[in-house]
Amino acid sequence: MLRLDHKTAIITGAGSGIGKAMALLFSRQGAMVFMLDRDEAGGNSTAAAIAEAGGKAVFYLCDVASQEAVRKRIDAVVLERNSLDILANIAGIAHIGNAENTDESDFDRLMQVNVKGVYNCIHAAIPHMKNKGGVIINMASVAASVGIADRFAYSTTKGAIAAMTRSVAKDFIQFSIRCNSISPGRVHTPFVDGFLARNYPGHEKEMFEKLSKTQPIGRMGIPEEIALLALYLCSDEASFITGCDYPIDGGFITLNS
């Protein structure tokens, strides 16, 4: 079960965190993985880890905010593989701030990556998937469903992703294209470590514990847990599922309401 043999998967943001965990897992389950990321060192590191484990992966340096760059990369994948079965839109950036103190430049930057980046990838992938169907996974967030302090721009982009997911699922269901989103709570990724180091130098451990306890389950998630949910949603076992968002948040949404 949950095998991806002979499937072609494109994963954005695979240089670290959740995207990396997904690339490793999807490869282990038999997929040929193509990774798009701006992080050249991280992308090459993920590709090397997959090769060391006996899997197959190709890393392409790509800024998802550029429609032309995305189109060229996705077209190249399909030309090589003659198929595109899975698109996982994981690349994204975060921002701390409210509606008053968020600068226009920061708001525009998040919209370019978190919203337009997902649109660019879907826009380029859909024509290829219409031939025989496919699966699209988008990375939303609990911030799309509940109010979180000082996450104005980030929450805005993730709300857009949740709506985009439903729209794509509705429009292309007749082509056997399924589209779902995942909404993680706090997940322990390199971003979290960097955020704590920048904003709480000398108090990283204390703040890590504080953030962990905001999840009712008492800890942050780990990237591999998110990857396992994505694997199921991309597998043939989930062929009856489309247009849905899946919180994976240690009870954050339901138990904090």
Q: Domains of the chain, with CATH numbers?
A: 8-187+222-255 (3.40.50.720)
- Annotated catalytic residues are 154
Question: Is pLDDT above 80 for 162?
Answer: yes
Question: Is pLDDT above 90 for 191?
Answer: no
Whole-structure pTM value = 0.95
Question: Is pLDDT above 90 for 125?
Answer: yes
- Give the model's confidence band at 34: pLDDT under 50 very low, under 70 low, under 90 confident, else very high: very high
Cα separation, 116 vs 255, in Å, equals 32
pLDDT at 151: 93
- Give the model's confidence band at 175: pLDDT under 50 very low, under 70 low, under 90 confident, else very high: very high
pLDDT at 199: 82
CA atoms within 13 A on the CB side of 191: 18
Question: Is pLDDT above 80 for 139?
Answer: yes
Cα separation, 252 vs 214, in Å, equals 8
Where would I find the beta strands (DSSP E) of 109-253?
134-139, 177-184, 245-248
Residues 6-23 have a mean pLDDT of 97
CA atoms within 13 A on the CB side of 162: 19
List pLDDT tens digits, range 211-226: 999 899 999 999 999 9
What whole-number percentage of the chain has pLDDT above 70? Answer: 100
- Burial degree of 233 (CB within 10 A; 0-12, 13-18, 19+): buried
List pLDDT tens digits, range 54-80: 999 999 999 999 999 999 999 999 999
Q: Which residue(s) pair with 136 in the sheet? A: 87, 179
List pLDDT tens digits, range 80-119: 999 999 999 999 999 999 999 999 999 999 999 999 999 9
User: Taking all residues of the chain, what is their mean pLDDT, rounded to a whole number?
Assistant: 96
Question: Is pLDDT above 90 for 194?
Answer: no
pLDDT at 169: 98
Residues 164-186 have a mean pLDDT of 98
Question: Is pLDDT above 70 for 257?
Answer: no
